[in-house]
Structures are given as structure tokens and as C-alpha cells.
Chain A
Amino acid sequence: MSSGIALQAIDLVKHFSTGSSGVLGRATNIVQAVDGVSFTLPTGKTLGIVGESGCGKSTLARLVTRLINPSTGSVILDGVDITTMSGKSLREMRRKLQMIFQDPYSSLNPRHSIGQIIGDPMRIQGIVSKTNEKAEVQELMQRVGLNPEHYNRYPHEFSGGQRQRIGIARALSLRPSVIVADEPVSALDVSIQAQILNLLENLQKDLGLSYVFIAHDLSVVRHIADQVAVMYLGKIVEVGDAATLYSSPAHPYTKALMSAVPVANPSLRNSDKRIRLVGDVPSPIDPPSGCRFRTRCWKATDLCAAVEPLLQPDATGRAVACHFPEAGPVSIG
């Protein structure tokens, strides 16, 4: 049993092959979706993972929950290596580690009532008996802010925010200790986002949950996370506690990411402190040599092309994968 580490990823790698060549179809075009990612999630805390499209964060979420299998690397859940589990032990593992998905419109089976959606996992895993299933489900519904009398209703009868609450209730139904949330509020209106985030934070406090929270919205992650990891093209480029990372980002990509977010304050418009990245994200099939960010980095040198900078944690747990990390606070917003 480990002391206070809920979830750990060690050197996770996932390569997908697309395309094939030759008469017999050998695999070419390997997409290096996740290329050597490690992180540690302390019990009761939230690790936020931010990045843009193609950085591998969604693949990482599926690797960690064993919805897909890593090419190499391992996942440790509460001290137990779950990477190669299968059959009964995998099913038992699922009680401890659950997932919330992004799209409230496609992640619920439209032909099941919400009573079924929330109750089925509990009943199948034997956590409740048939007789007290309904009571348990209704208690969960109340906990996530749904009206228990809507037990027999179907997903299409609910709004986006309510459906996401159903998804949260479903994740909670197995009484997990760790929840991986893949962009849980991205598809929701701003006023509803705030409600769901408050709910997630309250649940964490009440139930002692640990979260891996994946999002592309920096403000959302800053609010809810204790620690934040920034991903780019399949690798973590910076990780550290949320407050420090946001006030003084060390990796040039993190800095650019933060300065790109439009702040709700018109007087900060046209501030020339804003960094504008040039060009597009390179293809994950053929990432740049050395540091993957160098093609868009204003500081890139020959060293960056030749040697890949490694993620070295310092004494405070902060780590940056850069040969020339930034220093000092970012004075924007």
C-alpha cells in the first residue's frame, strides 16, 4: 500500500499506426500520441492536464483508465500495477477508477432511463442488491443536484448541464477513489460550467476523491487543480503546482498558451506583452527532432534541435522540459 499516492503513470507510451504499405500492408505512419508521460496524483488532490488538440491528453485519459492499452509503460493505482490486468481483477479495479466524459449528449445511452444508467454499474458489480438499488440511485441523484423523482426519465429530457450531472452520478455509483474527467465542462455554457465545477469540488471534499482533470480551458484548470501538467505533442513540457505555474510559467509553450487566452478585461487589449505563436502544431506522425516545440519557439537554438530536453523535477516538485526556461512572473492579467 502506498502512502497517499492515488494514481501514478510511469513512462506511458502509446503509438497508433495509420496507413499501410506494401502488398501485405505493413504499418507505416505511426502516430506518437503519447510519448513517455509520467505523473503522480496525490490522494485527495486534483491534477490538471492542459494542452491543445493533438497533444495526447485524451489518449492519456484512456490509457490511465485502461480503456486502451499502452504500447509501453505502466499505471499504478493505489500501489497496485494495473497495466496488464484483465478479466476479474480488471473489473474489480474499475470500482476504484472511473471516468467522466466530455460530451453529455453522446456519453449517455439514449435508450436507458437515468435510473438504469446510474444503477446498472452498482447492481452488476454487486455493490447493491436489487431491493435497495433504487434508493441508492436516488440518493446519488440528490447528491449531484438532480431531482430523484426523475428516476425514470430519459437523457433527451434533460439539459446539457443536467446530463453531465448524470454522468457524474454514474461515475460515482461504484464509489471510486479516483476519477478521470476528460473535458467535463467544455461542452457547457459558462453559467452551467460554474455549477458543475462547484459540484465537482464539493464532491471531492465530501468523498475524499482524487481527480485527474483534463481540459483545454486554462482558467477552468487553474481554478480546480492543485497541480498542473502542460502537454505538447505527446509529452509533458511542464508540471508544477497551479499557483506557481500560472503566475510564473517556465516553459515557453506554457507562457504562450497563457498569454493567448483572451482575458475578460478590455483595458488589457493590444497589450504588447502578448505572445503570438507562429505556425501550426507539427504532425504527431513526424514530430520535430530534439525539443518538439522548437519549430514555434522564439528561443530555439541548434541545441534544441539536437538534444531533447528532459523533464527534470526540482526540489519543489516543479519540472520543465526546456533548455532555456523562462524566469520571472508573467505580468498579464
Chain B
Amino acid sequence: MSNEVVLSVRNLSVVFHTPDGDVVAVNDVSFDLRSGETLGIVGESGSGKSVTASSILRLNNSSTASTTGSILVSGVDVLSADESEVRRIRGSEVAMIFQDPLSALNPYYTVGKQIAEAYLVHHPEASKADARKVTLEMLKKVGIPNPEKRIDEFPHQFSGGMRQRIVIAIALINNPKVLIADEPTTALDVTVQAQILDLMKDLQVEFNMAIVLITHDLGVIAEAALDVLVMYGGRIVERSTVEALFSEPTHPYAWGLLGAVNSLESSGRGALVTIAGSPPSLIALPPGCSFNPRCSYSSDICRTEIPLLRAVGTQGSVAACHLPEGDILSLGRKAASR
């Protein structure tokens, strides 16, 4: 199995034109994704991670959003291609699953019909019987018990975990190269979350799929990702392997996140490590580095000049921070220690 690049995002920027002003939701995001690998994108609300995800399939509303840059999938630039070309890619080469499985399924049709629909739109020569057969196999594969009976049931008749499995079935029915998972487990119970993450890992191996996993939960990242992008205020502030992120994070925001999670998971009762302040308003981003108002290490240059991503350390990490490399590495190691 070759480790080819299946998704290539270059200089993606998304600006929403609202009555209150222009919101730069995504600012100059670039990354590559290779087959069989999982890229995690972690960030909090307003970080731009969800808008990045929906841009890959050109799901943003074109009348209110301006999207620039390029997104290459199988040699096609999704952002500049025809509508028909993009429709061909959606659901077949690149598939997406959303956060809330209850609202993601059409309540008026049976789950069997919805899965078959995804198959038939990309296999127009197939018969309804073929589609039903493929649907049944897929239901078995995602672990729905008693699929022959449940295929004709409606989404509201399933539990949250089961519905997410159905959403996964719809996404994988055409054997996509890339799966975009936008907070797939956030709305699920913890035990169900574990089941779904396991299912996704198994299916990834079976289909040799690349996954873009978007989440705010560092535990999920540690569990499932190979490489990680940390986003803040619409930009990538750090990119590293998952091991490097948890042993030697290279951005103050990542230190804050890790500190909060670690102090929470430790058994001590002391005050939790926090990041002061709140996530920035995307209409009125602070000048310079958008994290600087909340950063304990900011200096004058941080307030005037936006830091560019640069290589830091020996583990292949890249960070957008003005601090000198030596400081970054020592502060990072300190933040990661438990």
C-alpha cells in the first residue's frame, strides 16, 4: 500500500461576510493527508476547525462566504471545479460525518433508503436490489445487530450510538479515500464514544482510508491521531506528531490546553491550570498574534507581528510563535510533564 497524498490543502482561507463585518474564520491553512493516516485537528470554539472541514467538500454557503486557496483531491481542485465535479467527489472520494447523529439523518426516510441513496447516486447503473444488498452488508460491518429488520426502520428508532454507526455506514458505502469526521463522538456517551472510535479504526484499516478527525477533546486525539494540527483564531498555531504534541508541545496555547487536561486528570485537588480570558471574537481579532492577550509569555513583537509557522525541535514540529526555539522546547516539556 503506497502512502500517497490523498488530500492536499494549500492556503485555505474562508471569510464570512456578515452584516457586522467580515469574519475571517479560516486564515491560510495548509496541510497534506496521506492514505491510511489520521490527521487530528484540535481547537476550541471559533478556532476555524469546523469551517476548514466543511470547506473540503465545498459545503460553505457561497453567497456569504469567500473561500480562497486550493484543495486537491485526486487531481481535482475542489474549490475551482464545476459543481458536477464536486458532486462526484462528495460521498464517493471524500465523505463526511457530523457531530450530532440525531439531526444528521433525514427523519422521513428509513435508514436503509438513506444508505442506499448514497450508493445509488454514485452507482447509477446499479439496481435497487443491488443497493439493498450492499446496504445490508454495510450495516453488518458497522455493527448494527439484526440488520435485516432494522434496515427498514427510521432514525428516531435508534439510539445515539447506533445512529452514528448509520452515519458512518452512509459515509463509507462508496469506499472513500478520505473521511472527514467533525466531532464524531462529542454528542455521544463515553462508553459509546469508545465503541465508535474503535469502529472507525477498524474500518480505516479495512478500507485503507485517510481520516481528518476534528475534535476539541485531547483524549480523543491521543487515542486516534497520528499527526495533529492545533488551531486558534482561524489559524494553525502548531503542527506535530501526536507523540510530540503530548511530550514536547511547541505553542503556548497547546501548553495551556495540555495543562488544563493534565491537571484535571491528575488525582490532586489543587487549582486547575487555566488559560486566562476567552477565545477571541473573529470579527475583532487582536493585532499581531491572536493568542497574545491570553499568553503568559507575550512580548511587544507578539502584539504587532503575526508569527509564521516555523520548524521547532527535532520531532518535526512546526509552530507559529515568536519565542526562541530553546525556550519553546523547555517550556513545552514542562507543560507536558504530569
Q: Give the B-binding residues of A (Cβ under 8 A).
A: 52-53, 159-162, 189-195, 197-198, 201, 216, 218-220, 222-223, 243, 246-247, 256-257, 260-269, 274, 276-277, 279-281, 333
Binary per-residue interface labels of chain B (179-195) against chain A in the complex, 1 for a CB within 8 Å, 0 otherwise: 00000000001111111
Alpha-carbon separation in the docked complex, A262 to B189 (Å):
12
**Are A191 and B195 in touch, CB under 8 angstroms?**
no
A contact residues around B161 at 8 Å (CB):
280
Contact of A266 among B44, B197, B242 (CB under 8 A): B242
- Given contacts A52-B190, A192-B278, whether A262 and B217 have CB atoms under 8 Å apart is yes
For residue B284, give the distance in angstroms from its CB to the closest CB of chain A: 13
A contact residues around B198 at 8 Å (CB):
276
Binds A, one of B66-74, B261-269, B305-313: B261-269
Alpha-carbon separation in the docked complex, A115 to B220 (Å):
40
Ordered by A's residue number, 20 sampled pairs between the chains whose C-beta atoms are within 8 Å are: A161-B278, A162-B278, A189-B279, A191-B260, A193-B264, A194-B263, A194-B272, A194-B274, A197-B264, A197-B272, A216-B189, A257-B191, A260-B194, A261-B190, A262-B193, A262-B194, A262-B222, A264-B218, A277-B194, A280-B162
B contact residues around A281 at 8 Å (CB):
159, 189
- Given contacts A190-B218, A198-B274, A269-B222, whether A263 and B265 have CB atoms under 8 Å apart is yes
Q: Which residue of A lies closest to B338 (CB)?
A: A265
Alpha-carbon separation in the docked complex, A227 to B161 (Å):
30
- Given contacts A263-B219, A264-B219, A264-B222, whether A333 and B194 have CB atoms under 8 Å apart is no
- Given contacts A216-B189, A257-B191, A260-B191, whether A194 and B267 have CB atoms under 8 Å apart is no
Q: Give the A-binding residues of B (Cβ under 8 A).
A: 44-45, 145, 159-162, 189-195, 197-198, 216-224, 242-243, 246, 256-258, 260-265, 267, 269, 271-276, 278-279
Contact of B267 among A159, A246, A262 (CB under 8 A): A246
B contact residues around A246 at 8 Å (CB):
267
- Given contacts A262-B193, A262-B219, A266-B246, whether A190 and B261 have CB atoms under 8 Å apart is yes
Starting from the known contacts A262-B194, A264-B265, 10 additional A-B residue pairs (CB-CB under 8 Å) come to A160-B45, A190-B216, A191-B44, A191-B256, A191-B260, A216-B190, A243-B267, A280-B159, A280-B161, A281-B189
- Given contacts A260-B190, A276-B195, whether A190 and B44 have CB atoms under 8 Å apart is yes
**Are A193 and B260 in touch, CB under 8 angstroms?**
yes
**Are B191 and A52 in touch, CB under 8 angstroms?**
yes
Alpha-carbon separation in the docked complex, A253 to B1 (Å):
40
**Are B162 and A264 in touch, CB under 8 angstroms?**
no
- Given contacts A194-B264, A219-B265, whether A264 and B191 have CB atoms under 8 Å apart is no
- Given contacts A264-B262, A267-B243, whether A191 and B274 have CB atoms under 8 Å apart is yes
**Are A191 and B257 in touch, CB under 8 angstroms?**
yes
Alpha-carbon separation in the docked complex, A220 to B264 (Å):
6
**Are A52 and B189 in touch, CB under 8 angstroms?**
yes
- Given contacts A197-B272, A262-B219, whether A190 and B260 have CB atoms under 8 Å apart is yes
Alpha-carbon separation in the docked complex, A322 to B160 (Å):
27
Contact of A262 among B145, B223, B271 (CB under 8 A): B223
B contact residues around A265 at 8 Å (CB):
222, 246
Which of A52, A159, A190, A276 gathers most chain B CB within 10 Å? Answer: A190
Contact of B272 among A162, A223, A257, A280 (CB under 8 A): A223
Alpha-carbon separation in the docked complex, A189 to B45 (Å):
7
Contact of A53 among B160, B261, B272, B273 (CB under 8 A): B160
A-B pairs, 3 with minimum CB distance: A262-B219, A52-B189, A189-B44
B contact residues around A267 at 8 Å (CB):
243
Q: Which residue of A lies closest to B259 (CB)?
A: A194
B contact residues around A161 at 8 Å (CB):
278
A contact residues around B278 at 8 Å (CB):
159, 161-162, 192
A contact residues around B193 at 8 Å (CB):
260, 262
**Are A201 and B190 in touch, CB under 8 angstroms?**
no
Q: Which residue of A lies closest to B276 (CB)?
A: A195
